[in-house]
Amino acid sequence: MTKFFSCSITGPRPIRFTFGYDEWDPDCIALKAAIETQIKLLYDYGARCFYSSMTLGVDMWSAEEIIKLKTTYQDIKLICIDPFRERERFWTFEDQKRYHIIIKNCDGRVCLSNFSVHDKYQERNLYMVEKSDALFAVYDWEHPNIKSGTGRTIRQAQEYKKKIYMLNPVTFETMVSEQKKERWIG
């Protein structure tokens, strides 16, 4: 019998990728397809509840994929974690619209503060690590940026001894946990 678990999602904002905000770029399309594949595999491994930080880029793309998968996997859940209320007001109209569609279709939402405070981003990442059993990170470990939010979240997950599933956004190679490399792309 499969043991069910929860999984937080982390990854870079679009500006960190060569394609930037161009979601029609072939590299972005390929990355989003790889993310979809990984989420399906995580589901097959037992992940039923996913936590998303709702950051533009990997986190929101993943949330959108999870919402699409709800038609196939009725027991998949999405919990959205916001560092503070109305943070989307700083985004473009289109990004705000996407955000609100995700919020409308998620299974739960946690907002950590009523006010915009910089350290709430780190608090949100720690909250996600503490609440979940595993972490799915889109992260280029061959060129690590340990000061990035994604790098910090991975370090926190390591400190909490969480299982970490990583997808390299450049090579699409995957890695499970810290030392054990294996391919789990279907």
Contact residues for 78 (Cβ-Cβ < 8 A; gap 6+): 49, 50, 52, 63, 66, 67, 70, 102, 105, 106, 107, 108
pLDDT tens, residue by residue, 117-175: 777 888 888 999 999 999 999 999 888 776 788 989 999 999 999 999 999 999 999 99
Give the per-residue pLDDT at 167: 96
Cβ atoms within 10 Å of 24's Cβ, excluding its own: 7
Structure-token pair, residue 54 = 């709702």
Assign 186 a pLDDT band (cuts: 50, 70, 90): very low
pLDDT tens, residue by residue, 85-114: 888 988 999 999 999 999 999 999 999 888
pTM of the model as a whole: 0.90
Q: Which of 49, 153, 55 is nearest to 106 (CA)?
A: 49
- Which of these ranges, 4-18, 21-35, 39-53, 168-182, has the smallest mean pLDDT? 168-182
* Beta pairing, strands 174-176 & 163-167: antiparallel
Give the per-residue pLDDT at 85: 85
Domains and CATH numbers, the chain: 5-176 (3.40.50.450)
pLDDT tens, residue by residue, 32-79: 999 999 999 999 999 999 999 999 999 999 999 999 999 999 999 999
Strand partners, 49: 6, 77
Q: State how far the Cα of 178 lies from the Cα of 85, in Å rounded to an integer.
A: 34
Give the per-residue pLDDT at 148: 85
